[in-house]
Amino acid sequence: MVLGYSKGVSTQRVLLVAGDPVLHDQLAGLLRREDRSIQDVYNGGDALEYLRATPYDVVVAGQSGRNGSSGTTLLRRLRSVRPDTKVILTGERSPARAVAAIRARAFGYVHNPPAAGPLAEMVQAAVTSSSWRDDLKVISAKPDWVTLGLRCKLEAAERSIHLIRELISETSNAVCEDVTAAARELLLNAIEHGGELNERKRVRVSLLRTSRAVMVHIQDPGKGFSLDLLPHAAVNNPEGSPTQHAEIRSEQGQRPGGFGILMASKLVDELLYNERGNEVFFVKNLA
């Protein structure tokens, strides 16, 4: 018998599949919201039956059943029932599994035990997403070199950052947070300014690993820029004038901001732009 529950008037429908009762309760607790109903399922067979009967906004799926059916296997079975279903897989802390999930067209991957913030953000992004299936592609997936291609959409950028976090989740918390924060700032710049938020254009992001460092390379389709010719960016504020860029942005009618490059440079050990200005590379040492 499959147990389910709903709370309040629901506008979001989530199908939760996990065979481990302890993990299942953890996931349910993190996903529960007043505007959301959660259908609890403990094996893949029941998940398929529910999905055949009712469309869900998102499926959160881990290992299920007595034999611990893998998330990617269940993902393929769910796709056969409803091809456009957005599925977030959970599982062990494994870069290979995270990449395999994206290659199998999962919306995302979160390792167990799940952290509240990343899981909640990804589920909400999946619930509200409309067009997403081709936004994020794995181009290269060597253990020490992963390359992603993504549409110039802010949503695709956030999914990429979630994946980068998974790929380096075994590093220290400080390294993981610094790398993901720096990558996010630079990737948003690449999409917003280089790609002009044009969904027909794509950005490439590569995550490289050595025994001593984590490195990120971002290439956008734009014309580029000169770092020395950005008076509206905080990185070029003259000494003693920390708000000059804000005044320039206001005069030019630009939104508040301009801290991305400066913030990224403070989080990593080395940051370089190419001559054209449409590629950026940074290094974060592990020692």
pLDDT per residue as tens digits for the range 112-127: 888 878 888 899 999 8
Q: Does the pLDDT value for residue 260 go beyond 50?
A: yes
Q: pLDDT value at position 241?
A: 58
Q: Does the pLDDT of residue 7 top 60, yes or no?
A: no
- Cβ atoms of 136 and 124 within 8 Å: the answer is no
Phi then psi for residue 79, to 5 deg, are -60, -35
What's the pLDDT at 250? 57
Domain ranges within the chain, ordered by starting residue? 1-130, 134-287
Query: Taking 80 as the threshold, does the pLDDT of residue 1 lie above it?
Result: no
**Predicted confidence band at 281 (pLDDT cuts at 50, 70, 90)?**
very high
Mean per-residue pLDDT for 139-144? Answer: 93
- The CATH class that applies to domain 134-287 reads alpha beta
Higher-pLDDT residue of 240, 188: 188
pLDDT in tens, 62-97: 865 443 346 788 888 888 999 988 999 998 899 999
Please report where in the chains the tokens 């309760």 appear, as a residue.
25
Cβ atoms of 51 and 59 within 8 Å: the answer is yes
pLDDT tens per residue across span 192-209: 989 999 999 999 999 999
The region of weakest confidence among 130-134, 188-192, 210-214 is 130-134
Report which DSSP code applies to 130. Answer: S
Average pLDDT over residues 94-104: 92
Q: Measure CA 18 to chain center.
A: 22
Task: Tell me the pLDDT tens digit for each residue of 160-182.
Answer: 999 999 999 999 999 999 999 99
CA distances (Å), origin 95, targets 100, 146, 160 = 8, 10, 13
Say what the pTM is: 0.84
- Cβ-proximal residues to 67 (8 Å cutoff; 6+ apart), any chain: none
Residue 226 pLDDT class (50, 70, 90 cuts): low
d(CA 157, CA 199): 12
Give, for 141, the enclosing helix (H) or strand (E).
Answer: strand 136-142
Beta-sheet strand order (sheet of 12-17): 36-41, 12-17, 58-61, 87-91, 108-111
pLDDT band at 48 (very low <50, low <70, confident <90, very high): very high
| Cα–Cα dist 220/157, whole Å | 12
Q: What is the pLDDT of residue 69?
A: 45
pLDDT given at position 9: 47
| Radius of gyration of the chain, Cα coordinates, nearest whole angstrom | 21
Q: How far is CA 38 from CA 27, 35, 45, 86, 112, in A?
A: 10, 10, 17, 15, 19
Once rounded to an integer, what is the mean pLDDT over residues 245-268?
68
How high does pLDDT run on average in the chain? Answer: 85
Better pLDDT: 94 or 257:
94
- Does 3.40.50.2300 match the CATH number of domain 1-130? yes
Q: What is the pLDDT of residue 209?
A: 96
Q: Burial code of 85-99, b = ≥16 C-beta within 10 A, e = fewer?
A: bbbbbbbeebbebbb
